[in-house]
Amino acid sequence: MSIPPFEVLQPESLQEACELLGKHSSEGAAVLAGGTDILVDIRRPIIPEHLPRCSGCDPKTLMPRKAVEKPPAYMVALSRIPDLSGISEAKNGDISIGSMTTITQICESQLVREKLTALAEGGDNLGSPLVRNRGTLGGNICNARPAADALVPSVALGAQLELQSVNETRIVSVSDFVTGPGRTIRKADEVLSKVIFPALPEMSGSSCIKLANRKALEISVVNVAAVLTLDKAGKISQAKVALGSVAPTPVLAEKAAASLIGEKPSDDLFKEAGKTAAGECKPITDHRGSALYRVDMVGILVKNALQKALERAR
Amino acid sequence: MSDYRILNTRAPRVDAFDKVTGKAKYTDDLSMPEMLFGAILHSPQAHARIVKVDTTEAKKLPGVKAVITSEDTEGIAFGVSPARYDEQIFASERVRYVGDEIAAVAAVTPEIARQALDLIKVEFEELPSVLDAHLAMDDEAEQLHERYKNNIVQQVHWDFGDVEAAQKEADVIRTDELTSKMQDAAFLEPQSALATYDQGYLTMYSSTQAPHYIQRTLAMALSLPLHKVRVVKPAVGGGFGPKAACSSMELATCLLAMKTGKPVKITFDREQVFLHSRARHQFFHKMTTGVRKDGTICFLEHEALLDGGAYCSFGIATVYYAGSLLGGPYRLENMKYDGYRVVTNKPACGAQRGHGAVIARACFEIQLDRIAEELNMDPVELRLKNVREAGETTCNELYLSSFGMKEALEAVRDSAAWKNKRDDQPDGKGIGAACGFFVSGAGYPIYYSKTPHCTVVTKLNEVGGGVIVESGAADIGQGSDTMLAMITAEVLGIPLSDVRVMSGDSDLAVDLGAYSSRTTLMTGTAAKEAAESVKAQILEVIADKTGASIDDLDVIDGEVINSKGDLNIEELRHDFRMEHRGFRGIVKSGNLTFNEAARVAFIDKGSIVGTGKYSPPKLGGSFKGAAVGTSPAFGCSAQIAEVDVNLDTGEVTVEKITGAHDCGFAINRTQVEGQMQGSMMMGMGEALMEEIKYDECGRVINANLAEYKIPTSLDMPPLESIIIESHEPNGPFGAKEVGEGGIMPTIPAILNAIYDATGVRINELPVTPERIRTALRKAGKVNK
Ligand SMILES: Cc1cc2nc3c(=O)[nH]c(=O)nc-3n(C[C@H](O)[C@H](O)[C@H](O)COP(=O)(O)OP(=O)(O)OC[C@H]3O[C@@H](n4cnc5c(N)ncnc54)[C@H](O)[C@@H]3O)c2cc1C
């Protein structure tokens, strides 16, 4: 069996979940949402770790790549906690999405499709129907992969995260939350309860594009999310561009976004912004794509994403 | 339309219900009382001497029932080709790839078995590893096996016709190259084996394609009498080649069962499927072809290097096939081939759909398009000018007893509106064509033998009614059980539902297995013969009892019909009715039913059994290696692919593939189309995405189906499948292969279409977006 044994705990309230996480933190306790990341990540390598590798092998790279240092002895499942899933719009237009909301629910929500198009499109690009039915927004964000298909648009849309622990509730921005591949500022006893997307002004539009070698079940070679707002004169008043798979975390291409402000949208403008964004990332070469290709594609995808966002803003 | 009632229809598969409802049992679904679970310890190093294996701690773990290593295997050697038995159940002196087997354990739970592996200590002494097929042949290269000098397992040097003379006749001569990557067959069901050993009898349930070869290898390696080894194939979720040879996992399962006296099961994790591999080799092809101005092909000079990983496996056949199957489908009288199959410190490669011939075919068909361009000739026209017809023999002595190549090519040309689309397409859109050629069953077994390739025993149900077909054929999802049932029902004139097929069991009959696209032609012929015998035996009794002439009798739709008038059946019917007092639905009037006739015949003769066999006629020339590539018949196919290439990103969308395949005669039309579509899907994956990737230490870095890409349903375009029926004289009812040949044209058709769309040539598979974008950039075709 490649999945090591663990015990599943099923708290009925958020408070209880936080307590259990705190109580078992020394033995290792992980939050279990849809399980589509964590159950894959804790697999044991088929070839036992104690066997000596060849001198050229980096001892850290095992097969499969070991994503979790120590498999948790406990899984704290969120499935029985009421009110963790659902999508709602506040009076001020902020949209709040419960962390246990599945990717399918997000993709099927008219509200999200209309107001947070980039997130819906990111969701469309994620995995397959099976994975989308189980995988959650909270899981995608907390797993903190630089390519994550719901995380990258969340960064562009300026999502705020509500983190709940035994003693406190805090709100942090998603950009501050993710610190590295698989790494976040989440404390051991914290649960992400909801994700708040600040209302976008009138005349806003967003989009998300993924580049990969096939049309489903893919980890992006590059993914890009863009958000644009136009003023009454038709000039760009706000812009955000987020890049995935080009750095250890999703990146906000700030110079590219800044270059758009106050400008009249045009193909040339977007093309230049693409070039600027390409200069703002430092991807690596791995088996999914070379750094050169990725930089090249950032330029093209940013331009395309901005064009799509513009169509929707108008 | 055909005169058949059952053949040539779209009858539902006999296993459809069980598969769809989840009732079908695969090997891993099987469980037995007291069954133990096995686990295998694989090498973490690509090339190393084994200094010491210490299993002391593992043996002490409670719940562990056996731990075995090479010390328990008496140095047994096995493999695929008897001349190259280079594998061991467990590595004794050295490991040759990351994944090579070192030890196995059996324990009461899978978890304990796994924990036991963590307690086995191994000391290695690292050896330089050889990961590059070209460097492997250097004199200085570390040698993997003592017997393979320069790491060459097999070389082939063929020279048919007179290439030198033909060079002088050619107006255009081109040299092209194509490189592929090792591939995985990506079948759904990982290998699984369950062994029991009871009173000297070994029974192995295995997800195999070839129970017969497994049976032989087990008996040989474990020193058991052949008749005391039984191999049973439960439902199998795909094979495509890698499941055609006995594996050390199967042998280890048996050894553990023999050692513990308990049933033992081992099921591979998906990652082990990749480590074990035995899938498609890596090919490096270089071809020089010459043609006359009018398009006549003059000669082909072909060099191939095959990287086959650590062991020989099917490698000898692979390197022969890579050369021999270019003998068709075109008139090519002068062909020179130099092929080398080497070993490297990677998982061993073996046979995979289109064995040995797929990348060679792709290289040649791509080259034909380039030649057509130089000649300013339509590539379909160039092909049509050169295709062979039935009755011809290739330069390497392959006889084409039926051959619908021209018909197939014309069919796709017309159906895909080739001319219009070829001439008139915007940038980024492209269309490409290619042909293919493949054996319909290998002419010779893998080991030297004059054995029939298969037998079928068809037995009449003794209480009256249907028949049971007993065969060793391996239905691995391709539908051979349905084929056997349809042929039997057609011959006997009874409904399909009255035929029950038992197959895939070495106790039932001999069958070399599901490989080289043999089952319909070979086992189908044997089934036909067996059913004919049963029918004759029944009708003989009926003729005798009724006074009719046997020549006037036939069974049609389950009733015995006398073409010369009524049959005198009063007495027979009376007896039958008397036997069935209290039974409902016993016929009172009308024609004699098959059920009645069968019962009458049984009462008269006792058991009624019909047998059939298939032995190919003597095939092939007298040159060295002539046996590989011979076949009682050859299939051929043509395809046209249409693509849309995003010139900014290099992404390819295949928009449509139109395929035509000459299967001789479609026993079941839906299944023929299914094989064609499966082939196109697999070929498309190999063209665009499939590639086993290694790190510099020889470890597979994408050993799972998330990172090893095959097309998803969203990637698949509409596929049009056109069935060509050329009526093969050596096949049952004219049938021949469709299982593998259908993959041949897919890769080159797509690559030719990509060239049409982009104007850039890519000589390395798979053609990923990045490779296209890079080629576009090099060609100066990227917008600044
Ligand atoms: C076949 C397959 C294909 C996939 N394809 C894609 C893809 O295309 N794109 C993509 O982005 N991802 C993909 N994924 C990854 C995964 O499905 C998504 O990231 C998904 O959104 C994860 O959600 P989950 O609920 O399953 O997370 P889980 O696996 O349950 O959790 C993921 C991590 O987040 C933590 N966590 C989860 N919820 C919370 C919470 N509320 N508070 C605190 N911590 C939490 C867990 O402890 C764990 O560390 C794929 C996965 C599979 C198996």
Q: Could you tell me if B305 and B254 lie in one domain?
A: no
Residue with the larger pLDDT of the pair B74 and B318: B318
Chain A residues with CB under 8 Å of B41 CB are 47-48, 51
Considering chain B, what is the average pLDDT of its residues?
A: 96
Q: Do B294 and B385 touch, CB atoms closer than 8 A?
A: yes
* pLDDT, mean of residues B274-301: 98
The pLDDT value recorded for residue A257 is 98
| pLDDT tens-place string over residues B677-709 | 999 999 999 999 999 999 999 999 999 999 999
pLDDT at B461 over 70: yes
Q: What DSSP string describes B698-756? A: S-BS--STTTS----TTTPPPEEEEEE----TTSGGG----SSGGGTTHHHHHHHHHHH
Q: What type of residue is A228?
A: L
pLDDT at B734 over 70: yes
Q: What DSSP string describes B767-782? A: --HHHHHHHHHHTT-S
Asked if residue B772 is part of any domain, the answer here is yes
The domain spanning residue B213 has which CATH number?
3.90.1170.50
The domain spanning residue B675 has which CATH number?
3.30.365.10
Q: Write out the two tokens for B663.
A: 């299967």
Q: Could you tell me if B260 and B323 lie in one domain?
A: no
Ligand 1: does its nearest atom lie under 6 Å from the Cβ of A189? no
Q: Could you tell me if B579 and B473 lie in one domain?
A: yes
Asked if residue B689 is part of any domain, the answer here is yes
Considering chain A, what is the average pLDDT of its residues?
A: 95
Q: Do A87 and A104 touch, CB atoms closer than 8 A?
A: no
Chain A residues with CB under 8 Å of B129 CB are 54
Ligand 1: does its nearest atom lie under 6 Å from the Cβ of A140? yes
Q: Ligand 1, atom 40: nearest CA belongs to which residue?
A: A192
| pLDDT tens-place string over residues A52-101 | 999 888 765 544 455 567 889 999 999 999 999 999 999 999 999 999 99
Q: Which atom of ligand 1 is nearest to the CA of A191?
A: 42
Task: Choose among A52, A61, A219: nearest Cβ to B124.
Answer: A52
pLDDT at B538 over 50: yes
Domain coordinates in residue numbering, chain A: 7-77, 82-197, 204-313
| pLDDT tens-place string over residues A179-227 | 999 999 999 999 999 999 999 999 999 999 999 999 999 999 999 999 9
Q: Could you tell me if B558 and B628 lie in one domain?
A: no
Task: For residues A144 and B605, give the distance between their C-alpha atoms in angstroms, rounded to a whole number.
Answer: 76
- Confidence class of residue B254 from pLDDT cuts 50, 70 and 90? very high
Q: Which atom of ligand 1 is nearest to the CA of A125?
A: 8
Asked if residue B19 is part of any domain, the answer here is no
Q: Do B703 and A56 touch (CB under 8 A)?
A: no
Distance from CA of B106 to the nearest CA of A (A): 13
Q: Could you tell me if B290 and B412 lie in one domain?
A: yes
Q: Which atom of ligand 1 is nearest to the CA of A130?
A: 1
| Full domain range(s) for residue B249 | 35-127+191-267
Q: Do B693 and A287 touch (CB under 8 A)?
A: yes
pLDDT at B1 over 60: no
Burial B268-284 (b: 16+ CB within 10 A, else e): bbbbbbbbbbbbbbbbb
B265-279, B529-543, B622-636: least confident range: B622-636
Task: For residues B6 and B666, give the distance between their C-alpha atoms in angstroms, rounded to a whole number.
Answer: 11
Ligand 1: does its nearest atom lie under 6 Å from the Cβ of A32? yes
Q: Could you tell me if B292 and B402 lie in one domain?
A: yes
Q: Do A255 and A273 touch, CB atoms closer than 8 A?
A: no
pLDDT at B217 over 80: yes
Q: Could you tell me if B259 and B307 lie in one domain?
A: no
Q: Write out the two tokens for B364.
A: 């040649």
Q: Could you tell me if B242 and B119 lie in one domain?
A: yes
Task: For residues B569 and B212, give the distance between their C-alpha atoms in angstroms, rounded to a whole number.
Answer: 45
Q: Ligand 1, atom 21: nearest CA belongs to which residue?
A: A140
Q: What type of residue is B450?
A: K
Q: Could you tell me if B597 and B654 lie in one domain?
A: no
Q: Could you tell me if B573 and B496 lie in one domain?
A: yes
Chain A residues with CB under 8 Å of B115 CB are none
| pLDDT tens-place string over residues B190-209 | 999 999 999 999 999 999 99
| pLDDT tens-place string over residues B105-142 | 999 999 999 999 999 999 999 999 999 999 999 999 99
- Give the position of tokens 């994503």: A67
The pLDDT value recorded for residue A64 is 47
Q: Do A211 and B703 touch (CB under 8 A)?
A: no
The pLDDT value recorded for residue B587 is 87
The pLDDT value recorded for residue B75 is 86
Q: What are phi and psi of A32, to 5 degrees?
A: -115, 115
The CATH class that applies to domain A82-197 reads alpha beta
Asked if residue B88 is part of any domain, the answer here is yes
Domain boundary among B267, B292, B313: B267
Q: What type of residue is B148?
A: Y
Beta-bridge partners for B470: B457, B502
Distance B692 CA to ligand 1 centre (A): 26
Q: Could you tell me if B423 and B493 lie in one domain?
A: no
The pLDDT value recorded for residue A66 is 53
**Ligand 1: which of A3, A18, A24, A31 to mutate, most ligand atoms within 8 Å of CB?**
A31
Q: Which of B636, B105, B672 is nearest to B405 (CA)?
A: B636
For chain B, what is the domain count?
Answer: 3
Asked if residue B139 is part of any domain, the answer here is no
* pLDDT, mean of residues B555-564: 95
Asked if residue B138 is part of any domain, the answer here is no
Task: Choose among B126, B704, B774: nearest Cβ to A54.
Answer: B126
Domain boundary among B569, B586, B614: B614
Q: Could you tell me if B439 and B455 lie in one domain?
A: no
Q: Ligand 1, atom 28: nearest CA belongs to which residue?
A: A35
pLDDT at B588 over 60: yes
Chain A residues with CB under 8 Å of B48 CB are 54
Residue A293: closest C-alpha in chain B: B770
* pLDDT, mean of residues B423-448: 94
* pLDDT, mean of residues A140-156: 98
| pLDDT tens-place string over residues B364-388 | 999 999 999 999 999 999 999 999 9
- Sheet containing B36-42: which strands, arranged edge to edge? B64-68, B101-107, B36-42, B264-267, B192-198, B201-206, B229-232
CATH fold for the domain made of A204-313: Enolase-like; domain 1 (3.30.390)
pLDDT at A234 over 50: yes
The pLDDT value recorded for residue B784 is 63
pLDDT at A1 over 80: no
* pLDDT, mean of residues B317-324: 98
Task: For residues B413 and B672, give the distance between their C-alpha atoms in angstroms, rounded to a whole number.
Answer: 20
Domain boundary among B585, B614, B643: B614
Chain A residues with CB under 8 Å of B696 CB are 56
Sequence-separated (6 or more) residues with CB below 8 Å from residue B274: B184, B347, B692, B700, B702, B703, B704, B708
Asked if residue B463 is part of any domain, the answer here is yes
Ligand 1: does its nearest atom lie under 6 Å from the Cβ of A127? yes
Chain B contact present for A213, CB below 8 A: yes
Chain A residues with CB under 8 Å of B46 CB are 54
Distance A135 CA to ligand 1 centre (A): 5
Chain B contact present for A52, CB below 8 A: yes
Chain A contact present for B648, CB below 8 A: yes
Q: Do B42 and A290 touch (CB under 8 A)?
A: no
Chain A contact present for B704, CB below 8 A: yes
pLDDT at B87 over 70: yes
Q: Do A63 and B709 touch (CB under 8 A)?
A: no
**DSSP SS3 for B67:** strand
Burial class for B437, CB neighbours closer than 10 Å (0-12, 13-18, 19+): buried
| pLDDT tens-place string over residues A117-131 | 999 999 999 999 999
pLDDT at B425 over 90: no
* pLDDT, mean of residues B330-341: 98
Asked if residue B17 is part of any domain, the answer here is no
